Structure 1
Amino acid sequence: MLQSTLSDLSKKDFTTAVFHQALLLYRANLLDVDHIRELMAAEFPEATARVKHRSTRAPKRRTKRTRARQYKPDDLLTPEKAARVLGLSAKTLANFRSAGGGPLFIKLANRTIRYRHADLKAFIEQGVKQNTSQY
């Protein structure tokens, strides 16, 4: 109805004008929110349905929740899992293996490296110091 008289406006400009007029009427207490919703549903049924659908959907989680894995002392961990336990990178563990001074590891096959969880805990306990003079 109003759109036919304002045919030279783009759809976006027309929608902006309708919202602006509705807001002015609401502020003047000539329209209430329920009446505005009814008008919007009549003029823009697909937009109203889309908004209702969005509001009922559960919000997406931004990060994946993971529970801390509990390992047994004899569990054999890959370098990636061992690095996660120690808070290091897998590359740092590889450097430790090459240069020495890191946690004990097991070489099972040609390139298969594993770490016992108990050895990782012992490595952590070995690094506990009370002050900087104990290095």
Structure 2
Amino acid sequence: MNENIEVYLTPLQTCALIPGMTKGHLAQLRYAGTGPVFLKPTPRTVLYRRRDVVAWIEASERTSTAA
């Protein structure tokens, strides 16, 4: 697979990439503006770039459970 080709994911595909994520929770994250960056090419279509989803997951890295 060519590394330069962008991979776009539907919300369902994005949920499959993130353990425990549901479409409903992903929609809540979109509404709150706290989830991965997303695209809306049409009013009823939501897409995510795979690299943005991975970056969002990576940004959640923690070394402690304290606050």
After TM superposition, is the score higher than 0.5?
yes
Question: Percent of pairs identical after alignment?
Answer: 33
Q: Which has the higher strand share?
A: 2
The whole-number CA distance in structure 1 between the counterparts of 2:22 and 2:65 is 24
Secondary structure at the aligned position of 2:13 is classed as helix
The whole-number CA distance in structure 1 between the counterparts of 2:11 and 2:28 is 12
Task: State the TM-score, normalizing by the size of structure 2.
Answer: 0.85
CA deviations 1:14-57 (Å, max 9, x no partner) are xxxxxxxxxxxxxxxxxxxxxxxxxxxxxxxxxxxxxxxxxxxx
Equivalence for 1:47: none
The gaps in structure 1 that reach 5 residues or longer are 1-71
> Offset of 1:132 from its aligned partner?
2.3
Equivalence for 1:99: 32
Q: Which has the higher helix share?
A: 1
Indicate which of 1, 6, 18 corresponds to 1:86: 18
> Offset of 1:116 from its aligned partner?
0.3
The whole-number CA distance in structure 2 between the counterparts of 1:100 and 1:86 is 17
Indicate which of 9, 12, 23 corresponds to 1:77: 9
The gaps in structure 2 that reach 5 residues or longer are none
Higher relative contact order (CA 8 A, sep 6+): 2
Secondary structure at the aligned position of 2:42 is classed as coil
Secondary structure at the aligned position of 2:63 is classed as coil
Task: State the TM-score, normalizing by the size of structure 1.
Answer: 0.44
Query: Which stretches of structure 1, 4 residues or longer, exceed 2 Å deviation after superposition?
Result: none
Cα root mean square deviation, aligned: 1.5
Residues 1-135 of structure 1: pairs in structure 2 closer than 5 A? 74-87=6-19, 88-133=21-66, 135=67
**Structure of greater Rg:** 1
When the two structures are aligned, how many residues end up with a matched partner?
Answer: 63
